[in-house]
Structure 1
Amino acid sequence: MTNNFWIDIGVNLTDSSFDKDREQVIDQAYEHNIEKLIITGTTVEESHQAIELCQRYPNQLFCTVGIHPHYAKDHSTQQFESLRSLYKEDCVVAVGETGLDFNRNFSTPEQQVLCFEKQLEMASETKLPLFLHERDAHKKQIEMLQSHRDDISAAVAHCFTGTKSELYNYLDLDLHIGITGWICDERRGQELQMLAKDIPEDRLMLETDAPYLIPRDLKPKPKSRRNLPLYLPHIAAKVAELRGTTIEELKYQVQINTQHFFGLGDTH
């Protein structure tokens, strides 16, 4: 591939904060050499919306399809049948956002486990990779992943902010690691900054998680607190600095990783 570009693996483009300027946000990303965006699906309804958006921007937008643990309480047989049909769409590149979140427990742990189990089975059926969320539930999440890992093609720990032992637990399962602007936070991101070098170069991917997690060290600080895909190169610069590599070397490596992981080759 002669043309190196950025790919943002986690953008919540269906979020209402983008209702007034969604097209402009996509165009700005492209102008900043972020040529592909992967929209995060968190409910059946939002996954539908993500697919509709992708179909308007073929080869530029892709999406995940799934039920976030916050919404696990709403899951039903009918919803899973809807998901199953959505996985057949060409723009759908992963199962998720799925996983466990025992921090807020918007859905009970029992509901989350049932919903996650079903999506692990779907990843096994479809051979699509997993786009994973986890908060304060690492032990249970690892346990469930271990029992399914042989049947799953690949998985990424989206927005990783964990400890060294949690990082190595994921790497022991051959997971990829998604890094966000959390790494630019001088308060909360210190541990992640120290772990940046520990992520194997072929396991690293980058994301903004826009509109959330705007990098705290942006200068000048945007008037809006909304994160945008166009800030991905800023996050990448911090990662490159911490890993002791050049921005161009990092861009080349994460592009290869991401295209291979999500199947974004010449077939799309």
Structure 2
Amino acid sequence: MQVNLHRSAPLADTDATFDDFLPEALQRRSPAALVDIGANLTHASFARDLEAVLARARAANVDALIVTGTDLAHAEQAVELARRFPGLFATAGVHPHDASHWDGALAAAMHELHRLPEVVAVGECGLDFNRNFSTPAEQERAFEAQLGLAAESGKPLFLHERDAGRRMREILRSWRDDIVDAVIHCFTADRDTLYGYRDLNLHIGLTGWICDERRGHHLRELVGEIPLERLMVETDCPYLLPRNLPAKLKGRRNEPSLLPWIVREIAHWRGDDDATLARATHDTARAFFRLPAGDGAIDTGHAQLKES
């Protein structure tokens, strides 16, 4: 299913759905503005109530969203969303799962997308040796090509890596002088990998993975070792619903309005307060993606949520 992006397409009634999806216990407003650097809003689960999703994000004090483009179709959809809604911006790339589709035509299409002002990063691209939906050789070929596009466009990289840290670092090291900035999105790796990325002066994106008591323990020990000026936050919605929520949510869909709960968890394990972490990651994200000043997600006029 594809999201209908025509400007006149009917969306669910915002007033009817704004409060219905989130129980009051989950309606948390960040004490300082946030940027969600990884929101998969082109996912079919957002087609029904996208305006309400954005209204809830704004009420939670999330003032900018980076909509992830993981292939040509979704990158084009992300661009259309960025054109439609103030405060939304797009990335454009080919995920390593789809690297086998990389060819000259796709490279040319990505090149054109990277020229658009709505596109603020090249990616999601990188290496995933965990599932190998595309072979490692195909992944490396597509990744190197997209590194070239990033060097040509001068835009930062939005990177995916899983079980491929050593090879990722080797490739990035050879390109580091040619690319401006790069963020490892949804970082879940170990200390050695983290310090390897630190040595390359990369940014680190953290998600609700850290809220998961089943698998996030090692991240809780590492978050204090990420320089604050290199840290950004994201939901990776609709995936990775935080497990620190104090009330149950209908379904399992994550959304940007829940980002303050992720920030709260990160701040706790770093020994920071929520406001300090929010301000720092917000400023870092706006500088990293070169976002224009004064842009915010949809302001629907709904009542503000309680501050965390």
TM-score under structure 1 normalisation? 0.96
Q: 1:248: which partner in 2?
A: 275
Which of 21, 24, 27 aligns to 2:49? It is 21
SS at match of 1:150: coil
Give 5+ residue unaligned stretches, structure 1. Answer: none
Matches within 5 A, 1:1-268: 4-58=32-86, 60-266=87-293
Structure number with higher relative contact order (C-alpha < 8 Å, ≥ 6 residues apart): 2
SS at match of 2:112: helix
CA offset digits 1:52-98 (Å, max 9, x no partner): 1110013x100110000001111110011011111111111100000
CA distance in 1, matches of 2:136, 2:271: 40
Runs of 4+ in 1 over 6 A off after TM superposition: none
CA offset digits 1:174-202 (Å, max 9, x no partner): 00000000010111000000001000010
CA distance in 1, matches of 2:279, 2:249: 28
Aligned residue-pair number: 265
CA distance in 1, matches of 2:169, 2:47: 36
CA distance in 2, matches of 1:267, 1:245: 27
Report the alpha carbon displacement of residue 4 of structure 1 after superposing the two structures with TM.
4.1
CA distance in 2, matches of 1:26, 1:82: 28
Report the alpha carbon displacement of residue 154 of structure 1 after superposing the two structures with TM.
0.3
CA offset digits 1:21-69 (Å, max 9, x no partner): 12211111011110110000000111001001110013x1001100000
SS at match of 2:82: helix
Whether the aligned pair in 1 keeps the contact of 2:244 and 2:261 (CA below 8 Å) is no
CA distance in 1, matches of 2:212, 2:242: 7
2:65 partner letter:
L
Give 5+ residue unaligned stretches, structure 2. Answer: 1-30, 296-308
1:23 partner letter:
E
TM-score under structure 2 normalisation? 0.84
CA distance in 1, matches of 2:210, 2:201: 22
Select the structure that is richer in helix. Answer: 1
SS at match of 1:151: coil
CA distance in 2, matches of 1:212, 1:260: 26
1:193 partner letter:
R
CA distance in 1, matches of 2:173, 2:150: 14
CA distance in 1, matches of 2:149, 2:294: 23
Moved more, 198-207 or 83-92: 83-92
1:34 partner letter:
V
CA distance in 1, matches of 2:289, 2:205: 13
Report the alpha carbon displacement of residue 264 of structure 1 after superposing the two structures with TM.
1.1
CA distance in 2, matches of 1:265, 1:4: 18
